[in-house]
C-alpha cells in the first residue's frame, strides 16, 4: 500500500470513527437530559454555577465549591488525587489506598474479545465470556507451561506476547526482569479472531505490574491502555480486554482514548470457530489499497447505526449496523467463502446480526431474548440453538468444520484472581479472588 493510499485509507477510518464517537456522545447527552443518572460520558461545557433544578446531578465539594458534571470523571479524579496528595504531604503519611509491594506470584484472568463488530474497523471491540488464566511466579529458571487452546502452537520463549507484556511492565517500573515461570490455561481459541494475542499482552502487563509492585494512573492517561495498544498497534481488542464490555478506541493525536458503549440486556453471542488458524497479517493483506467514497459513506452510516442500536437497546437494528464495505467483502471473497452464506443463514434462523470477528476466521452472531439462567428458560423464547445449527450447516456446505460456542458479553475485563503475598490485611479484605483461596486477594 503506497503512503498516499495509506493516508486516504486511514482518513476514511478516522471519519467513520469520529461518526461513531459523535453518535455515542449525542445518545448519552440525550440520556443525561432525560434522567438524573450519572452515566453520561459527554455533555456541553461546564457552567460556572450549578443549576437549582437538579442539584443532585452536579456533585459539589463543600470545602472548595468545585462543580463537576456527571461526565467529568477525569476532572473529579484529578481533584480527588490532588486532595489526597495534599493531605499526605501535610501529614507526611502514605495513602492507605496505595500498596506497591513487589509480589512473588500472581494469577490473572483475561477475556476473549471480538473486534470490529462489522463496521467498526480497528476501533470497536467487546469482551467475550471465554477466559484464559495465567499464573506468573518468580523462579530459578525461565519456563512456559501451557494447556488448553493453542497450547501446542504458542511460542515457549520470550517472544510469547505474554512475556512481552511482562517485559514492558518491568520496564515501566524501571526494574530488571527476574527469572519467571509462566503457567497458561487457555480457553480462548488461538489465532481465530477472538483476541488471543491481546489477552496475552494484557495478562502479561498486569502480571508484570503486580510482581514489580508498580501502579499506573488511569484517569486522564490510561497508561495501561497506552502500553497495550503500543504493543498491539490498535485499541479495538486491548481496550475491552482491560475494561470489559464494548469499547470505542481512538487516538487523539497524543494518546489512545477509550469509551464504553452501552449494551442491550439479554444478548447472547453465538460464535462459530473454524478448525483452522487465521493469520491477521494475511487477512489485512487482502484489503484494497483504496477505499471509495461510497464505501466510506456506507461504513460511516452503518457504524453510527450500530452505536445507536446498542445504546438504545434496539437489537433488531443490529443487523444493519454490522454491515460493512471496508473489510468483510474482501475477506469473504478471498479468504472465507463461507462468511456471507453463514451470515445470511444466521439471520434467517433468528440472529439479530452476524459479522466476521476481528480478522477471522471466526464468525459471531447476536441473539436476544435470554433472561436469567438460560438452562431453565424455555427454548421457545431463545434462538441460540437454531442460530448455532444454521451456522454449522452453512459451514459444512462450504466444506468447513468447526465448533459453536454460546457465550455472553463480559462486562468485566482482566483481573487478578490470586496473589502472593496477598493484598488483604486483617483490617481490609479484598474479595474477588478464586475459590481456592476463599475469594480473598
Does residue 222 surpass a pLDDT of 50?
yes
CB 303 within 8 A of CB 321: yes
pLDDT digits (tens, 9 = 90+) for 180-195: 999 999 999 999 999 9
Cell numbers linked to 209: 505490574
Strands 180-186 and 143-148: parallel
Q: Over the stretch 302-358, which tens digit does the pLDDT of each residue have?
A: 999 999 999 999 999 999 999 999 999 999 999 999 999 999 999 999 999 999 999
Length of the chain, in residues: 441
Q: Is the pLDDT of residue 157 over 70?
A: yes
Q: What is the pLDDT of residues 240-253, one digit of tens each?
A: 999 999 999 999 99
Compute the average pLDDT of residues 282-294. Answer: 87
* CA dist., res. 345 & res. 361, Å (int): 17
Residue 416 pLDDT > 80 = yes
pLDDT band at 34 (very low <50, low <70, confident <90, very high): very low
Q: How would residue 28 be classed by pLDDT, with cut points 50, 70 and 90? A: low
- Report pLDDT for 84: 64
Residue 153: alpha-carbon gap to chain centroid? 24
Q: What is the pTM of this model?
A: 0.80
Amino acid at each position: 500500500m503506497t503512503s498516499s493510499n495509506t493516508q486516504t485509507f486511514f482518513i476514511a477510518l478516522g471519519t467513520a470513527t469520529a461518526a461513531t464517537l459523535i453518535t455515542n456522545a449525542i445518545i448519552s447527552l440525550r440520556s443525561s437530559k432525560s434522567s438524573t443518572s450519572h452515566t453520561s460520558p459527554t455533555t456541553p461545557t461546564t457552567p460556572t454555577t450549578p443549576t437549582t433544578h437538579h442539584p443532585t446531578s452536579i456533585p459539589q465539594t463543600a470545602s472548595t465549591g468545585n462543580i463537576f458534571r456527571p461526565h467529568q470523571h477525569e476532572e473529579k479524579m484529578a481533584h480527588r488525587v490532588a486532595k489526597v496528595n495534599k493531605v499526605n504531604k501535610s501529614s507526611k503519611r502514605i495513602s492507605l489506598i496505595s500498596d506497591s509491594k513487589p509480589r512473588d506470584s500472581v494469577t490473572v484472568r483475561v477475556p476473549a474479545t471480538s473486534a470490529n463488530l462489522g463496521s467498526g474497523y480497528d476501533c470497536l471491540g467487546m469482551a467475550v465470556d471465554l477466559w484464559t488464566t495465567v499464573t506468573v511466579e518468580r523462579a530459578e529458571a525461565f519456563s512456559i507451561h501451557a494447556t488448553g487452546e493453542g497450547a501446542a502452537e504458542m511460542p515457549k520463549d520470550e517472544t510469547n506476547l505474554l512475556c512481552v507484556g511482562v517485559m514492558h511492565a518491568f520496564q515501566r517500573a524501571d526494574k530488571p526482569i527476574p527469572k519467571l515461570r509462566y503457567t497458561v490455561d487457555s480457553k480462548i481459541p488461538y489465532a481465530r479472531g477472538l483476541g488471543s494475542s491481546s489477552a496475552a499482552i494484557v495478562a502479561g502487563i498486569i502480571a508484570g505490574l503486580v510482581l514489580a509492585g508498580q501502579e499506573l494512573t488511569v484517569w486522564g492517561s490510561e497508561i495501561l491502555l497506552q502500553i497495550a495498544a503500543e504493543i498491539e498497534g490498535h485499541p479495538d481488542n486491548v481496550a475491552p480486554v482491560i475494561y470489559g464490555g464494548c469499547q470505542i478506541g481512538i487516538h487523539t493525536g497524543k494518546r489512545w482514548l477509550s469509551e464504553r458503549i452501552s449494551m442491550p440486556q439479554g444478548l447472547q453471542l453465538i460464535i462459530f470457530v473454524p478448525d483452522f488458524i487465521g493469520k491477521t497479517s494475511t487477512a489485512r493483506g487482502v484489503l484494497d489499497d483504496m477505499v471509495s467514497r461510497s464505501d466510506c459513506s456506507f461504513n460511516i452510516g452503518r457504524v453510527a447505526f450500530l452505536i445507536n442500536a446498542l445504546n438504545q437497546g434496539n437489537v433488531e437494528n443490529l443487523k444493519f449496523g454490522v454491515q460493512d464495505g471496508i473489510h468483510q467483502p474482501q475477506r469473504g471473497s478471498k479468504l472465507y467463502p463461507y462468511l456471507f452464506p453463514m451470515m445470511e443463514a444466521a439471520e434467517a434462523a433468528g440472529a439479530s446480526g452476524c459479522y466476521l470477528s476481528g480478522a477471522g476466521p471466526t464468525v459471531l452472531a447476536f441473539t436476544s431474548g435470554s433472561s436469567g439462567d438460560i438452562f431453565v428458560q424455555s427454548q421457545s423464547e431463545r434462538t441460540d440453538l437454531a442460530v448455532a445449527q444454521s451456522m454449522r450447516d452453512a459451514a459444512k456446505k462450504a466444506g468447513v468444520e468447526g465448533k459453536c460456542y454460546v457465550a455472553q458479553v463480559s462486562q468485566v475485563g482482566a483481573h487478578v484472581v490470586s496473589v502472593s503475598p496477598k493484598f488483604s490485611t486483617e483490617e481490609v479484605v479484598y474479595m474477588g479472588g478464586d475459590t481456592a483461596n476463599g475469594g480473598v486477594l
